[in-house]
Amino acid sequence: MAIELKVPEVGESITEVEIGGWLKKSGEPVRKDEPVVTLESEKATVELVAPESGTLSQVLKPKGAVAKVGEVIGYLEKGGPPPAATGAPEKGKSQPAAPRPEAKPEAAPAQPRVMPAAQTALAEHHLQATDVRGTGPGGRILKEDVLREAESHAPAEAAGAGAAPKALVAQTTPGGVDREEEVVPMSRLRRTVAERLVSAQHSAALLTTFNEADMDQVMTLRKEYGESFQQKYQVKLGFMSFFVKATIEALKQFPALNAQVRDNNIVYHNYYDIGVAVGSGKGLVVPVLRHAERMSFAEVEVGIADFARRARENKLKVEELQGGTFTISNGGVYGSLLSTPIVNPPQSGVLGLHAIQERPVARAGAVVIRPMMYLALTYDHRLVDGREAVSCLNRIKGIIENPTRMLLEI
């Protein structure tokens, strides 16, 4: 019996998705709840899992095609392929043939456990699980294993990768030298990010103010309490929890930076849903820590670590990317020394963090070396005055430089 594979509801106001890639080929067996295809919306990438075990009998929408919510994109034959292999043991005459099915456990190595991120990587690089040697616990195949195998096939793929959704365009320079350009369609998420960033520049009056913070006290606290913190909460004490806490304290003093413009009104939020920008394989996403003002240091660190892991695996839910009131973006993890972050509409502010560098600074009339970080606060000048923005950033700086004001829950 054929089961329809339909595009599910993937979030409010989302009416269509783009087929990101089929994780199974037509004719391949599929287990119940195993991911079959990735779907890219303008906000996140989700996986459609098999409702029953069976065989993927038909693919109606190829990679890169657009499908509406509720549309059938493929069919699954319930019950799996005809039991050709299982019929052979039954031909064996008597009971001794019964233990023969124990040969099935031997088939397990041929189909090792594949982690979700690795499953996506297999489809992207047109590899089978049997082509990859798993290095994870119990022989599980990790994304790193797939990428390692893909690199070893790179020359072959470069020679004849006709199935990938990209094109190699040959150009001849005036000097007669041939060069190639690779044309790759933008993902739906990347297109949406681009549109929102351009929209923010056009619809808001954006201005950025800068300051710098001495990270010495925070680094001392992390060094002193980091081990006991990790033992108690099973998570490292990072910098982000300090900045989330400091930002909330500053926003309480300057509520316009936690507000938004709605029509001709200003909407002040009496809660603090802090978006934290994290990198994923498909671009930057901003999952939201709901009611971050109620969270402990440990809860903030656990939440951010979970977001980062699931962003890499394309496991973030659409609702986790919606409705933030303020955003923190840490470009310092990539080595950025200074930048002007762009506000995530309809929010009115975004805090940019940067790399920590030891620099000479003046302290009590003497030049000393301190671990310094530049801070950047971009704000919507339509509802935030310069005085408020500068004071808010200065408040964040003050808390970071004297973090003992905050209760460190260890």
The per-residue pLDDT for range 329-367, each reduced to its tens digit, is: 999 998 999 999 999 889 999 999 999 999 999 999 999
Rounded to whole angstroms, the Cα distance separating 194 from 119 reads 28
Q: How many CB atoms lie within 10 A of CB 354?
A: 24
Answer yes or no: 385 catalytic. Answer: yes
**Same structural domain, 100 and 245:** no
pLDDT band at 388 (very low <50, low <70, confident <90, very high): very high
**Same structural domain, 235 and 303:** yes
Looking at the predicted structure, is the pLDDT value of residue 157 above 50? no
Report field, pTM of the whole predicted structure over 0.85: no
Question: Domain boundary at 154, 179, 213, which?
Answer: 154
Is the CB of residue 47 less than 8 Å from the CB of residue 116? yes
Q: Which residues lie below 8 Å from residue 211, measured CB to CB, with a gap of 6+?
A: 374, 375, 377, 393, 394, 397
| The token pair that represents 203 in the structure block | 């619809």
pLDDT at 409 (0 to 100):
45
What is the chain's length? 410
Strand ranges in 98-174 using DSSP code E only, listed in sequence order? 167-172
Answer yes or no: 306 catalytic. Answer: no
Q: Which tens digit of pLDDT belongs to each residue from 252-290? A: 999 999 999 998 899 999 999 999 999 876 677 899 999
Looking at the predicted structure, is the pLDDT value of residue 162 above 70? no
Question: Domain boundary at 102, 137, 154, which?
Answer: 154
Residue 207: which of 387, 400, 354, 396 has the closest Cα? Answer: 387
Is the CB of residue 381 less than 8 Å from the CB of residue 206? yes
**Same structural domain, 128 and 233:** no
Q: Which tens digit of pLDDT belongs to each residue from 92-144? A: 444 444 444 444 444 444 466 777 677 777 777 767 777 787 776 667 787 77
Q: Which residues lie below 8 Å from residue 122, measured CB to CB, with a gap of 6+?
A: 23, 114, 128, 129, 132, 141, 146
Stated as kind and residue range, the H or E segment containing 388 is helix 386-401
Looking at the predicted structure, is the pLDDT value of residue 248 above 60? yes
Looking at the predicted structure, is the pLDDT value of residue 38 above 90? no
Range of the domain at 261: 188-405
SS3 of residue 393 by DSSP: helix
Instruction: Give the CATH number, domain containing residue 200.
Output: 3.30.559.10
| Residue 163 within a domain | no
Mean pLDDT for the chain?
82
pLDDT band at 91 (very low <50, low <70, confident <90, very high): very low
**Same structural domain, 135 and 248:** no
| Residue 177 within a domain | no
Per the model's pLDDT, the better-predicted residue between 52 and 391 turns out to be 391
Instruction: Give the CATH number, domain containing residue 25.
Output: 2.40.50.100
**Same structural domain, 275 and 355:** yes
